[in-house]
Amino acid sequence: MNHEINEIQPLIGGLVDEDRLERVHSITSGGRQRRNGPIVHCRRVRRWQFKRLRKVKPAFGLIGALVFSSILVPTEIMARSSISSDVQLSNIHLSPGAGTISWLSDWQLQTSAGSFDTVHGFVGGGQSASGQPSSASTSAVGAYSSAFASASINGSGNPITVQAGSLVTYPHGVFDSAFANAVAVRDFEIIGVTGLVPVSAGFDFLGHLIGDQLGKGADFRGLLSISDGTSTFDLTAYEKHSGLMNLTFSGSRNQTFSLQGGTAYSMTLSTDPDNLPDAGPGIVMSALILGGLFAYKRSGNSTLQEFGLQAASPARSASANPGSRLSA
């Protein structure tokens, strides 16, 4: 019988105390109970074992969260991750409710693109153009990132497209980035009318956000801006997302602004995609740890007390650090 008890004790991870084993041993030894002793002994130990494991389960959940977080974001997978963003504006229009638009300048186009990493340095440049028709385009291709930008105006002076995009990968041990921007600018005024005039402005947009790694994000911004040097009116298409994504956005932006007749304005079209700062595996691990702690709080703190690990109460923590707070 002692031999059988010694075999069962390692199976329950040392959770059985000596007094309880003595009581079980006394039940399973001697007299009429000896014949059924092994069965009584195993049932009592297992029942007590399962009760104890139910109390330990929240702690196992916390430990599991830590282990899972290390599996979820291994370095080698991070090294192969990438993210890209692009946006295109088209069908740009500007139409006053009264009077006529008089263009005060030619279209001025400017495109720029760049790629940088800490191993190979910077690659990039820019191009300018003016007139109707006109076009400008720039691209930059680095070892780990790339970018492009373009803008074109047709012979009638109408913008055909203004677009830009960037792609960034995340090799282990290397910092890299990319930027792209396309801008088209033209000055105008509304003639044949005085006072405030309602002017309808708008554009169509098409954008993409693609990423294959948790904790990384991207955004894009398409902008039509009208300014007289004092007041500015903006019409924006903006999207921002992170994590695993393969998203396409399309639509139109239209708005009516009140502009002053006989006043010179400048209209600017621009596209600006961007990869956002890497949240990294620490964010994911922290989320999992907080999830484990939340599960522990839901189950009560009796488990940690039994192991001699009493958690500090929120009130005591706040009084010890009265000026502490979370900030984004």
State the Cα torsion 31-35-39-44 to the nearest 10°.
Answer: 0
User: How many CB atoms are located within 10 Å of the residue 283 CB?
Assistant: 14
Question: If pLDDT is split at 50, 70 and 90, which confidence band does 277 have?
Answer: low
Q: How far apart are CA 127 and CA 28, in angstroms?
A: 91
Determine the average pLDDT of the residues in 120-141.
Answer: 97
Question: If pLDDT is split at 50, 70 and 90, which confidence band does 296 have?
Answer: very low
- Determine phi and psi for 205, rounding to 5 degrees: -140, 155
pLDDT at 299 over 50: no
* pTM higher than the cut 0.85: no
How far is the CA of 289 from the CAs of 254, 281, 314, 319, in angstroms? 45, 12, 17, 24
Determine the average pLDDT of the residues in 84-111.
Answer: 96
Cβ pair 91, 154 in contact under 8 A: no
Q: Is 84 left (phi over 0), alpha (psi -120 to 50) or beta?
A: beta
Q: How many CA atoms does the CB half-sphere of 317 hold within 13 Å?
A: 6
User: By three-state DSSP, how is residue 255 classified?
Assistant: strand
Question: If pLDDT is split at 50, 70 and 90, which confidence band does 232 have?
Answer: very high
Determine the average pLDDT of the residues in 294-314.
Answer: 38
